[in-house]
Structure 1
Amino acid sequence: MRRSGSVLAMIGGLCLAIAGTVPALAHEHPSGITDLVTPAVVRIEATAHVDITLLDHIGDLVHVERSYRVPIGSGTGTVINPEGGMVTLTRVVTTDRDVRILAANRIFSEHHKVKIPADFERHKVKDDRLNHHLQDCYPPKKPTATCIIDVTTEITVFPNIAPADKEGFKAEIVRVGDRPDSPAVLAPIGRADGGAGLPTAPLAAAVPSKEGSPVAVAGFTGKPAANLPETVDIAHLRAGGAGEGGRQFKDPENKADEPKKLGALIDKGLLGGPVIEDKKGEVVGLLVGGGADARMIGIREVTKALAEANVAPGRGPIDAAFEQALTRFHTHYYGDAVPAFQRVLELYPGHTVAAAHLKTAQAKRGTAEDEATKTVAASGDAPRGAPLWPFVAGGGLLVLAVLTTAFLLWRRRPADPGPGTGPTTAADTRPPMPDPPSIPPRPVLDEHADSTRVVSRSFPALPKLSSTVPGPVLVARDPGATGAGATGAGAVPDGRPADAVQKYCTGCGMRLGHAHSFCGYCGQPTKT
């Protein structure tokens, strides 16, 4: 029997492996897609807010106050964790030009009615006295300064959502590099707490080293809008060039001048945009350059900047649900993809890629393109899916194993001596035993506090958004936050300890307390 049990276990395991492997092959995750990254691509615009006061000592003492907004940078960023942490380039959010000089030129030109270009250069005027005051207005600040200047940087982020957010949300600089093309790390300000987070982009562990490795680039050429979606283009990496110099681009077939093509996209707004690896859809670097020169700084520089800024990349529940939906969509299981994309939109209503794919999946659900509803041409009604022969063979093996076990048990059972044979003993003359007392029916179990719940295995349990969450920007709940409805770390919702298990009497099924040694209904001990 021990040998037959081992054989049964091996056969059962083989059948389960066959049954689990065949459907899994039909849902293998696709490769070479940018859908995992584009929802996390954002437009970034940096503006210097300059408050300047001119102390006019010519004639009557007058204080002239002005405020100017000076654009200092724009480009593309990538969200790398659900809390809204972002990476871009330093020169997207900073500038090496002194905006205080521009403010001084403008206020002198406006107040004294002289022709001074509104640029970042120091100028002179013909009037010696007025020119002296102008030079004292320029930075740096001196004891005889005629201008008091205060500069603050304002960073606005426009997420990839629909409908488009025209106002965007504010962000602050967590870290900038010592070079214009160094990675910069940003964090959102005043985010809406209590949501499921922002879509994030997965980061690769290393840059492909092979010459001509295919990649894709993504970014925005302006503020996201219905008529201005993200721009995506293909490229190829050259070998080498890691570190400060960056990695260059080159078409291995020489059909396109990729540095020039990508340089034009960088000038239009893709500066700092993600470079996406072709197989796993992960970010391997950021776009730098412009004009006829386009390069990529690698992922190691990006992760180093994140570590120095103490910002950890990560993935959230939106990303998990979205990857499940993409798997069904890109393997043409459109009927299964519809509820999956609906789940994503419940978590993040503005998800543009999920909304677009949901519309396509709904149109193709139940058609000849839907793998889940394709039919076999011969029968006309049998669904075409995984081959049935592994399941038939497995079922036959199981039946054969059961019959073999039953035959072995029948051969080993002792022979029945039959009536009237053998010596008669006192036990044979005893009166028959009375029928056992009837056991009262088990009480009906409570179907409220501890009722059984049926959980779908199509998707993992994911949080849902509250309708009261304000704003289009959704971010993850603070792990350390507490509320009136929060429970302790060692308790469960009904107040029992976290490791407590509800016990029941094995005789009558009565619910038992945690300290009961005997059943209060039938008296049976709880420990045997």
Structure 2
Amino acid sequence: MARLTALLGAIAAALAAVLFLPATPVAAHDHPSGITDLVTPAVVRLEAVSHVEITLLDHVGELKHVERSYDIPFAVGTGTVVNPDGTIVGLRRLAVNPDDVAVYAANRIFAEHHKVKIPADYDKHKLSDDLLDHHLQECYPPKTDTATCIINVTTDITAYPNVSPASPNGYKVKCIKAGPDPDDPAVLVPLTPATGVGMPTAPLADKVPDQVGSPTNVAGFLGRPGPDVHHNVVIAHLGQGGGQGQNGRPFADPEKKKDEPVELGGLADKGMVGAPVIGDKDGHVIGLLVGGGKEGKMLGIREVLGVLTQAKVTPRRGTIDTAFEAALTRYHTKYYTEAAPGFQRVLELYPGNVVAASLLKTSLAKRGGPEDQGTRQLAATTPGTSRPLWPFIAAAVLLFLAAGGGAYLLWRRRAPERPTELPQPLAAGPPLDEGANQTVVVRRSQSFPVVPQQQQQVMTAQEAPMKYCTSCGMRLGPAHRFCGYCGHPIET
């Protein structure tokens, strides 16, 4: 039965292999080199404003309370969403104003109310009038018991996601953790976390590539996202050396065709500071763009992960990212027919996804065309509109062989063997020895063939005496030379 089971199992496996051959081979694909689409949906524009409310207590003349409020923009840059709830990694300079806006507000309100010339800057000034100057100095921070100004400063940070149509108001975030220096990483969380499936996120790498000249991509915004402002992607290469914090990792073109530090420094000043630096190997974020002027550098991913850990924030991917990455794999391997439904699903989950909408448009345009690998493989394996007949013919032959083989093995298994002729039990005679051992049944040996018994009249006890085997005690026929049961010769 074991052999029958093994044979039927092998035949069933062969039938499955033939009957269930896929019309289109399915293969696993890695993301191609240089991909930035994994990150760009999660890139956001950051704009930071210091909001100051100041009340001047005028004691010079008639007692008056003068109230003013000022909004002071102090930073624009780029951030990266790392959690579906809208949590962002950026730089401290994009979240914390390094200037003392209370001094700025004091200068403004004194100049406006007392009609004196004071620059609207962040420096403390003196006036020629001793009384006014005394009141001005008492207005400047830090606050004292004799202060002439009551000042309240808040920071308003807005993130504008990469969506279409553009979000006019974005969403508000606050800084919960940041390093001490302006170019240290910062963690910003939304005041109202995103609900449902949330927002697209960017995958973060574990470390920075060590190889000098490793290609990267820097993606960010030079303005607030809108119909005429899209995310900008710049190719750059990692240079030699570098360190933690503001020392950073320099950029350097290995072919020396352009000055990458100057180019990236200029882009940082225009709004791409804090932008994610994307590794060319797998499309993960390996750092953030820092610096400015004539020196753009990269802050490594380990510093970013360290601040996230201190803030007790775990970066994670969401449902949108899973659907988008699956569609993106098909798109970049030119399976446009299969990619299109995937991008449609992404847009159902997150209708404003600019990157998914653009790739869907391209997929629909190329679907079924000469570049579509899915269509080409289908045409190669399926002539016309019918499936080839040879798999079904082979399956029929294997099925016939399986049925025949199974029937034959079952017949061999169940066929009765030819019974061995055994001597008839003793009808009469002396009793057997009660102490004799139990009789052992032994098949006839080919060395001692049994002579067929002759058809003759049975003799009575008076005509011929009965004979018994001296070895086993079984009755012997009149013409037997050997015992028909044990094969012992009767002459002995």
TMscore range, shorter length: 0.7 to 0.9
Going from structure 1 to structure 2, the CA distance change for 1:41 and 1:17 (only over 3 Å counts) comes to farther
Identity fraction in percent: 53
Q: Which residue of 2 aligns with 1:330?
A: 332
Q: Structure 2 residue aligned with 1:163, among 159, 162, 165?
A: 165
Alignment partners' CA distance in 1, 2:267 and 2:229: 14
Give the match's secondary structure for 1:310: coil
Q: Please, which moves more after superposition, 273-282 or 184-193?
A: 184-193
The Cα of 1:413 is off from its aligned counterpart by 3.5
Q: Which amino acid aligns with 1:34?
A: T
Matched, 1:4 2:1: no
Give the match's secondary structure for 1:24: coil
Q: Which residue of 1 aligns with 2:345?
A: 343
Alignment partners' CA distance in 1, 2:77 and 2:413: 91
Going from structure 1 to structure 2, the CA distance change for 1:243 and 1:402 (only over 3 Å counts) comes to farther
Give the match's secondary structure for 2:112: helix
Q: Structure 1 residue aligned with 2:76, among 71, 74, 77?
A: 74
Q: Kindly indicate whether the alpha-carbon contact (under 8 Å) linking 2:23 and 2:381 is maintained by their aligned counterparts in 1.
A: no
**Structure 1, unaligned stretches of length 5 or more?**
423-528
Q: Which residue of 2 aligns with 1:23?
A: 26
The Cα of 1:359 is off from its aligned counterpart by 1.5
Matched, 1:313 2:315: yes
Alignment partners' CA distance in 2, 1:305 and 1:321: 29
Q: Which residue of 1 aligns with 2:432?
A: none
Give the match's secondary structure for 1:66: strand
Q: Which residue of 2 aligns with 1:464?
A: none
The Cα of 1:163 is off from its aligned counterpart by 0.5
Alignment partners' CA distance in 1, 2:260 and 2:409: 80
Alignment partners' CA distance in 2, 1:147 and 1:93: 26
Give the match's secondary structure for 1:268: helix
TM-score, length of structure 2 as denominator length:
0.77
Deviations 1:270-294 (A, max 9, x none): 1111000112110011111001111
The Cα of 1:64 is off from its aligned counterpart by 0.6
Residue pairs, 1:436-515, within 5 angstroms? none
Q: Which residue of 1 aligns with 2:224?
A: 223
RMSD value, Cα: 3.2
Alignment partners' CA distance in 2, 1:143 and 1:273: 45
Give the match's secondary structure for 1:301: helix
Q: Structure 1 residue aligned with 2:411, among 407, 411, 414?
A: 414
Q: Which amino acid aligns with 2:70?
A: Y
Residue pairs, 1:33-182, within 5 angstroms? 33-182=35-184
Q: Kindly indicate whether the alpha-carbon contact (under 8 Å) linking 1:90 and 1:181 is maintained by their aligned counterparts in 2.
A: yes
Deviations 1:192-211 (A, max 9, x none): 53x21100001111111111
Alignment partners' CA distance in 2, 1:241 and 1:47: 32
Give the match's secondary structure for 1:269: helix
Q: Which amino acid aligns with 2:208?
A: V
Aligned residues: 412
Alignment partners' CA distance in 2, 1:378 and 1:59: 94
The Cα of 1:411 is off from its aligned counterpart by 3.3
**Structure 2, unaligned stretches of length 5 or more?**
420-492
Give the match's secondary structure for 1:157: strand
Deviations 1:423-467 (A, max 9, x none): xxxxxxxxxxxxxxxxxxxxxxxxxxxxxxxxxxxxxxxxxxxxx
Q: Which amino acid aligns with 2:191?
A: I
Q: Which residue of 1 aligns with 2:205?
A: 204
Deviations 1:319-351 (A, max 9, x none): 111112112222222222222111111100110
The Cα of 1:399 is off from its aligned counterpart by 6.5
Q: Which has the larger radius of gyration?
A: 2
Q: Which residue of 2 aligns with 1:370?
A: 372
Going from structure 1 to structure 2, the CA distance change for 1:83 and 1:246 (only over 3 Å counts) comes to same
Q: Kindly indicate whether the alpha-carbon contact (under 8 Å) linking 1:176 and 1:183 is maintained by their aligned counterparts in 2.
A: yes
Q: Kindly indicate whether the alpha-carbon contact (under 8 Å) linking 1:72 and 1:93 is maintained by their aligned counterparts in 2.
A: no
Q: Kindly indicate whether the alpha-carbon contact (under 8 Å) linking 1:51 and 1:66 is maintained by their aligned counterparts in 2.
A: yes
Q: Kindly indicate whether the alpha-carbon contact (under 8 Å) linking 1:375 and 1:382 is maintained by their aligned counterparts in 2.
A: no
Alignment partners' CA distance in 2, 1:48 and 1:152: 6
Q: Which residue of 2 aligns with 1:436?
A: none
Going from structure 1 to structure 2, the CA distance change for 1:375 and 1:34 (only over 3 Å counts) comes to closer
Deviations 1:22-77 (A, max 9, x none): 4215x554332111100000011111110111111111111111000111222100
Q: Kindly indicate whether the alpha-carbon contact (under 8 Å) linking 1:172 and 1:187 is maintained by their aligned counterparts in 2.
A: yes
Alignment partners' CA distance in 1, 2:187 and 2:412: 83
Alignment partners' CA distance in 2, 1:20 and 1:299: 44
Q: Which amino acid aligns with 1:81?
A: N
Deviations 1:66-124 (A, max 9, x none): 00011122210000011111100011111221000100000011001111110111111
Q: Kindly indicate whether the alpha-carbon contact (under 8 Å) linking 2:23 and 2:382 is maintained by their aligned counterparts in 1.
A: no
Q: Please, which moves more after superposition, 10-19 or 159-168?
A: 10-19
Deviations 1:135-186 (A, max 9, x none): 1111111222111111111111111100111111111111111121111001
Deviations 1:210-260 (A, max 9, x none): 111111001111111110101110001124423222111111111111101
Q: Which amino acid aligns with 1:230?
A: H
Alignment partners' CA distance in 2, 1:240 and 1:372: 45
Q: Which amino acid aligns with 1:208?
A: P
Q: Kindly indicate whether the alpha-carbon contact (under 8 Å) linking 2:23 and 2:378 is maintained by their aligned counterparts in 1.
A: no
Q: Kindly indicate whether the alpha-carbon contact (under 8 Å) linking 1:375 and 1:381 is maintained by their aligned counterparts in 2.
A: no
Give the match's secondary structure for 2:79: strand
Give the match's secondary structure for 2:411: coil
TM-score, length of structure 1 as denominator length:
0.72
Q: Structure 2 residue aligned with 1:300, among 295, 299, 302?
A: 302
Give the match's secondary structure for 2:50: strand
